[in-house]
Structure 1
Amino acid sequence: MSTHSAFSAALLDVRLPCPAGLCSSNGADPASRFAVYRNNVQSSLINALADGYPVVAQLVGEEFFRAMAATFVQQQPPQSPLMSRYGEAFADFIDTFEPASSVPYLADVARLEHLRTQAYHAADADPVRPEQITAALAAPQGLSDLCFTLHPSLHLLHSAYAVVAIWAAHQQQPSLEGIEIHQGQHALILRNGLEVEVYAIDHGASVFIRHLINGQPLLAAAENSPEFDLSQTLALLIARNVITHLNNKVTP
């Protein structure tokens, strides 16, 4: 193992000894100095996870969360210098973390929080003006070919649990009272201006939006989706500045 690899491994695994060859300029014990540095690095990574997954932390409590995060840090160290990207696999880790099995919706809450982080850091894109969209929808000669490009921050999530309601309940006074935990929900996550917003939408609306993301024309996307309120869904997309480009034969 190279010196760099040995240092990196010991930095994240408290069971490993101080790497050989380290020295201290002031004569202090290198092992003690390394232990302090290792603790600071691990604490920083755990804090980064806590910042990115605040509702997950609330659901299990700080002590449990930090112990779970410490295990994740040791198993999956950062692969990027961007801390906003750290924890991309945290939800999958929670799925397999046996001590968290008593909170079956925890991993999906983590997935929702990670998508919120992705939405926040997504590229900017100017929305199409509402009057342009209205004109395109009113032009029958181009309607069959009308395609929408949606904002880069938009994400969809399906959960077997009431993940949106659980997340929303922890934005003020944390409580799951009155929430039907096992009532599955479809989440729409997007950034509107500087604010990341989360909505619970119907299954049909989620399928429809997925078709739009995949490039299907508006009418085909609607026809290939389970029953849903098309007008209401389009109104939401327009109001939240999600539509960033129109591709149709008739351009207003």
Structure 2
Amino acid sequence: MPDLSTLQRDFATALQTRQTLPDGYLPAAHQTRFAIYLNNVHHGLAQSLAAAYPVVRRLVGEEFFFAAAGLYVTENLPRSRSLTLYGADFPRFLYRFPPARSLPYLADIARLERAALEALHAPDDPVASQADLFALGDALSETPLALHPATRLVVSRHPVLAIHDANQAADTATRAIEATPQAVLVFRQDDGLCRQAVAPADAILLRRLKAGWSLSRIAGDCPAVHAGGGLVSRFQRLSLLPVFARPPLDIHPLETRP
């Protein structure tokens, strides 16, 4: 028998390539069982992708989806014991997958589905209400505001939310979809998941906040956020949604500081 390191390497190679182990690892009578095990592993991983990306599956059909999933699994074995969040790079895989080039929006649909999955399983940190945020007073403009862990933003050149909503299993209606870019905010609310289209300026504001910019810096360095009503009204509207993390308790209004 080989040493443990060699055994682990060869076992991982067999899993990835769906080939039998080298001679001497298993009795000949057990090679068939190992082949069945390999098939079950790959089938289970492909089914995990199907559960995570149902709209992608619906758009391309069973044969295409499971062919793509099979190739992805071969290149991306899981690194976690749990398969709940398996398939993080599947959108990127689809972007590079030549047979998917006829559907240029497919990878972004996968990004939207991935965002929803991550939002569902994000930590249950306290959410900031609008009152929590405005209680900061003058400090609000200078305080970096963190997005809640369950908040995700997907910006696409394609109408991804419209395509997503038109391809739900229970939706049999035919819809006309305008080929325009869409930015989609994904968040949890009332124990459910919300996907909401937002304006391009909203997306810019949220991206800058996620990057750690203060509202004051955004106001001075991002003219685009002032379009369509201004930064103040834009932030007031977004602050009504449960998309921000509650600010730390040690942040106080500027006027109360010594």
TM-score class normalised by the smaller sequence: 0.7 to 0.9
Residue 66 of structure 1, CA deviation:
0.7
Choose 208-217 or 87-96, whichever is displaced more: 208-217
- In the other structure, the counterpart of 1:94 is 94
Q: Which amino acid aligns with 1:145?
A: E
* Cα 1:178/1:79, change in 2 over 3 Å: same
- In the other structure, the counterpart of 2:11 is 7
- In the other structure, the counterpart of 1:161 is 158
For the pair 1:45 / 2:48, whether they are aligned, the reply is no
**Helix, strand or coil at the partner of 1:85:** coil
Map 1:1-252 to 2 at 5 A. Answer: 2-14=6-18, 16-23=19-26, 29-136=29-136, 139=137, 141-171=138-168, 172-173=170-171, 177-180=175-178, 182-223=179-220, 224-226=222-224, 227-229=227-229, 230=231, 231-240=233-242, 242-245=244-247, 247=251, 248-249=253-254
Stretches (4+) displaced over 4 A: none
* Cα 1:175/1:29, change in 2 over 3 Å: farther
Residue 197 of structure 1, CA deviation:
1.6
Cα distance in 2, alignment partners of residues 123 and 225 from structure 1: 33
* Cα 1:17/1:23, change in 2 over 3 Å: closer
Residue 111 of structure 1, CA deviation:
1.0
Does the 8 Å CA contact 1:187/1:200 hold for their aligned counterparts? yes
Does the 8 Å CA contact 1:22/1:30 hold for their aligned counterparts? no
Q: Which amino acid aligns with 2:12?
A: S
TM-score normalized by structure 2?
Answer: 0.83
Cα distance in 1, alignment partners of residues 101 and 159 from structure 2: 17
Q: Which amino acid aligns with 1:74?
A: T
Residue 199 of structure 1, CA deviation:
1.3
Q: Which amino acid aligns with 1:8?
A: A
Does the 8 Å CA contact 2:161/2:182 hold for their aligned counterparts? yes
- Deviations along 1:108-136, one digit per CA (max 9) or x if unpaired, are 11111111111112122112343343444
Q: Which amino acid aligns with 2:175?
A: E
Q: CA RMSD in A?
A: 2.5
Cα distance in 1, alignment partners of residues 141 and 234 from structure 2: 20
Choose 97-106 or 231-240, whichever is displaced more: 231-240
Structure 1 residues not aligned, in runs of 5+: none
Cα distance in 2, alignment partners of residues 225 and 195 from structure 1: 34
Residue 17 of structure 1, CA deviation:
3.2
Does the 8 Å CA contact 2:129/2:239 hold for their aligned counterparts? no
* Cα 1:228/1:221, change in 2 over 3 Å: farther
Cα distance in 1, alignment partners of residues 143 and 38 from structure 2: 56
Cα distance in 1, alignment partners of residues 15 and 143 from structure 2: 54
Cα distance in 1, alignment partners of residues 245 and 11 from structure 2: 48
Choose 183-192 or 217-226, whichever is displaced more: 217-226
Q: Which amino acid aligns with 2:118?
A: Q
* Cα 1:127/1:17, change in 2 over 3 Å: closer
* Cα 1:85/1:222, change in 2 over 3 Å: same
Cα distance in 2, alignment partners of residues 175 and 221 from structure 1: 42
